[in-house]
Structure 1
Amino acid sequence: MNELEERVIAILLSKPELVDSVAVNPNWFSDPRYKDTVEAMQSLDSAERTILNVYNELDKYEGQLSYKDLMNMRDEVFSTASIMNDVKALRKVSAQKAFEEAIALYQLSPKKEELNQLSAALENLKKTDEVEDKGYLDEAIDDLNYRMYNDVPVGIKSFPKLDDMLAGGLYGSMLLTIGARPSVGKTAYSVNLAYQIINNDPEVQVDYFTLEMNKREMLNRFVARHTNISSAKLKQPAQRLTSYEIGAVNSAIDWLRERKLRVYDQVLTLSGILSIIRENASKSKENKYVAIIDYIGLVKVENRRERWEQVGQISRELKIIANEYNVPIVALTQLNRNVESRQDKTPQLSDIRESGSIEQDSNVVAFLHKPNPDNPAIVQLTIQKNREGSLGVIDYYFEGKYMNFVEEKDE
């Protein structure tokens, strides 16, 4: 095992550009020194992955490879042609080990949670045996033929009108970007989107990365959405909640415990977000995983590029991982001030702040805005790019104190 791990590290050190093209998960390494080395290399820009820079990045960890170790490994003679097979083998060994650990855990405690972990580990192990892609369309043709005569659910369900415009729901490999100016309600909308998803299907896992708020604030928003109790009251529950409302909050907490919602408020870097998505998406079944990032502009990238280049890297990496694991990813972004200086306040694709690559990488781009200054409770979601669905506008009524977006009915 260590020989395989060492060979992968040696090839990556000798050809650092491969780090960007080979999907290797640091958690697949059993040796923590190799795991940390991969993390260090992934945190650096390709041109910066010199042995010295990698060694300096490793300085934050204890018990790491020395500079001499890194030099010696880089100079070992291995064929780069084996890297794809080596990474595939590494992933399978890691999945096999996790499966064996899950079996042992279930034997000690044969309960529902342990059974779910065992099932997920088995599913992950099966994925490692997937046949190498040869480019043939046979499987896709068989799938289309089957779906022509069988009603198969498409995508993960959220808001009904949004699902219609997305041709069935949030689908695998989708990068959905939602933009808005500050204070329009993009975080509140994403909370509602997550809420709709886990309400429609309790088996869907939602990983929510919040870079603006903490878990307590996020919990208050989900509870307010579920109970129609003002989020302001939840800030001082002992003083402001009635006994009936306390019961409703406890019911909401029980409801949330039964869902697969995870909120991350300490994961601030792109590499950290990608690592969690890789780990959890790899264990998920089809149409059972969504990641939401609030928001792109606050994600840290550990290199010294210009910010617009960093944002471009963020959108590209999110799209790549959505493709790799066939899962939908929702990314929020902030719009620039240009929209406020125009007579028509409807956001345009050119209003996306910091990087045009967000538009290029996204399957779907939508904007939230308030079309009527005299009625701020009306919020529109305007879809202006949609590769596999339709363009258009969805009107919502936003009940701010309850954090509730309600799709308005067609007249």
Structure 2
Amino acid sequence: MNGEVERSIIAALLKHPKNIDSLDANSDWFMIGNYQTIFEAIQQADSESLMIIYGKARYLSTQMTMSFQDLVKLRDSSVTDANLPELVRDLHRLKIQSDLQQAIRQYHDAPFADNLVNLTTLANNLANLDVANDNGKIDDQLKELTYNLDHPTETGIKSYPQLDKCLAGGFYGGMLFTLGARPGVGKTAYSVNLAAKMLAENPDLHVDYFTLEMTKREMVNRFIANRTGVPSTTLRSSASTLTPTLKQVVVQAVRQLGELDLAIYDQTKTLGQITSVIRRNASAAKKNCYVAFVDYIGLITVPAMKERYLQVGEITRELKVMANEFDVPIVALTQLNRGIENRQDREPQLSDIRESGSVEQDSNVVAFLARDKAVKDVTNLLVKKNREGWQATIPYQFNGRTMKFQELDVSADG
């Protein structure tokens, strides 16, 4: 992620070098020597001329390996300065994370008081990074509340009726919605149904779906199966054997799916790659016109961190920051611990979330999928945490053959 963020910052500054005067940034935050040198050259050059900036960079460091043409390509790239402050904040965050990892290793090797103080300071700096950019003013929120007194309140992104009711109007900006289940219960299938329902109910919606477990082809088959009732296994292995009528149904579904604003990513594996896509697309979307799905948290990697609990903590924190920063909902899937299978009732609890308590802490809503023990082919969505709505048990008729979830007509009030 470092290289991508650093490259974007330098490209934006080469387009408009004067922007550097308004940035609260330090060259020491750069991990790549060429970019650090160019940043210092832009700081020190008394001109916006690319040739002068390049000459200054060559003067500052004999280790500078980028050519003048490399700088021209950077300046002429598609990167803009629209998100420059956010990129600088990401750069600062990555630097603190790197220092924090080093401090953790130092304290592990030498658990002395001064190393503990350094570790604690860096951890606090990381936690306070985003708070420092908030001026604390509430004027806009007060105006919005006053306006809502005489105007209909703008609701969130619509999905299933009972789920929307439980969420007090739908999926809203700033929401991190975490969906957990044991393997085989259907969390990916449910997320596909949820995304398909959102696209059907909100014509202008853009959906980014990050799949870390399945291929893009498999996910497309699932979306088509959701529309047609033709099993995804049939679409994968024996589509040519379908009757002419079913083939026409599939062709129509393919056309309809192609017209929707749905993007599926199966090669975006790291946290940095995922947040980069979310940042790009969410920043360009209108209100209530963007949602991201991440399937699933346990497969995301954070290259700068080794300890898994720290990785998960950083993943959920970053997803929540993205949701807040761009006022969009993000749906993240997660696995549950095996311990649930040893309990008599087997009903998922918040403590069953695998790997880190940060998932519960950072999420606005936490819901679990569990098969109904009393009713065949019914799977319940158990909303166990809900900051802006109610806890609830919402039953769905689940067709395992077509992976279709249909919400049953039962009140969602918990």
Same fold (TM over 0.5): yes
- Please, what is the CA RMSD of the aligned residues? 2.9
The change in CA–CA distance for 1:153 and 1:48 in structure 2 (over 3 A counts) is closer
Aligned sequence identity (%): 48
Partner of 2:294: 293
Partner of 2:383: 383
Partner of 1:120: none
How many pairs were matched up?
317
CA distance in 1, matches of 2:24, 2:394: 52
Partner of 2:240: 239
Post-superposition Cα deviations, 1:162-216, rounded to whole Å, max 9, x if no partner, equal: 0000000000000000000000000000000100010111210000000011111
Instruction: From the CA coordinates, give the structure whose radius of gyration is larger.
Output: 2
Which of 91, 98, 115 is equivalent to 1:46? 98
Partner of 2:114: none
- Secondary structure of the residue aligned to 1:250 is helix
Partner of 2:361: 360
- Secondary structure of the residue aligned to 2:268 is coil
The change in CA–CA distance for 1:281 and 1:137 in structure 2 (over 3 A counts) is same
Post-superposition Cα deviations, 1:312-350, rounded to whole Å, max 9, x if no partner, equal: 110001001111111000000000011100011110000
Q: What residue identity is the alignment partner of 2:305?
A: R
The change in CA–CA distance for 1:323 and 1:277 in structure 2 (over 3 A counts) is same
Matches within 5 A, 1:55-204: 134-204=135-205
Q: What residue identity is the alignment partner of 1:338?
A: G
For residue 135 of structure 1, report the CA deviation from its aligned partner: 3.1
CA distance in 2, matches of 1:196, 1:46: 41
- Secondary structure of the residue aligned to 1:368 is strand
Partner of 1:265: 266
Partner of 2:393: 393
CA contact (8 A) 1:202 1:258 kept: no
Partner of 1:348: 349
Post-superposition Cα deviations, 1:119-173, rounded to whole Å, max 9, x if no partner, equal: xxxxxxxxxxxxx964333322222222222223310001111000000000000
Post-superposition Cα deviations, 1:71-121, rounded to whole Å, max 9, x if no partner, equal: xxxxxxxxxxxxx9xxxxxxxxxxxxxxxxxxxxxxxxxxxxxxxxxxxxx
For residue 373 of structure 1, report the CA deviation from its aligned partner: 7.4
CA distance in 1, matches of 2:367, 2:210: 19
- Secondary structure of the residue aligned to 1:209 is strand
Q: What residue identity is the alignment partner of 1:46?
A: S
The change in CA–CA distance for 1:325 and 1:230 in structure 2 (over 3 A counts) is same
Partner of 2:224: 223
CA distance in 2, matches of 1:324, 1:246: 44
For residue 238 of structure 1, report the CA deviation from its aligned partner: 4.2
CA distance in 2, matches of 1:231, 1:401: 9
CA distance in 1, matches of 2:22, 2:401: 53
Post-superposition Cα deviations, 1:244-298, rounded to whole Å, max 9, x if no partner, equal: 1111111111111111100000000000000000000000000000000000000
Partner of 1:14: 28
TM-score, with structure 1 as normaliser:
0.71
The change in CA–CA distance for 1:364 and 1:288 in structure 2 (over 3 A counts) is same
CA distance in 1, matches of 2:337, 2:138: 42
CA distance in 2, matches of 1:387, 1:326: 16
- Secondary structure of the residue aligned to 1:382 is strand
- Secondary structure of the residue aligned to 2:280 is helix
Partner of 1:96: none
The change in CA–CA distance for 1:134 and 1:43 in structure 2 (over 3 A counts) is closer
Partner of 2:409: 409
Worse overlay, 237-246 or 266-275: 237-246
The answer as to 2:215 corresponding to 1:209 is no
CA contact (8 A) 1:42 1:271 kept: no
Q: What residue identity is the alignment partner of 2:99?
A: A
The change in CA–CA distance for 1:243 and 1:281 in structure 2 (over 3 A counts) is same
CA distance in 2, matches of 1:395, 1:171: 22
CA distance in 1, matches of 2:332, 2:308: 17
Partner of 1:315: 316
The change in CA–CA distance for 1:296 and 1:30 in structure 2 (over 3 A counts) is farther
The change in CA–CA distance for 1:177 and 1:49 in structure 2 (over 3 A counts) is closer
CA distance in 2, matches of 1:372, 1:5: 61
- Secondary structure of the residue aligned to 1:256 is helix
CA contact (8 A) 2:171 2:329 kept: yes
CA contact (8 A) 2:30 2:91 kept: no
CA distance in 2, matches of 1:10, 1:161: 46
The answer as to 2:371 corresponding to 1:370 is yes
- Secondary structure of the residue aligned to 2:25 is helix
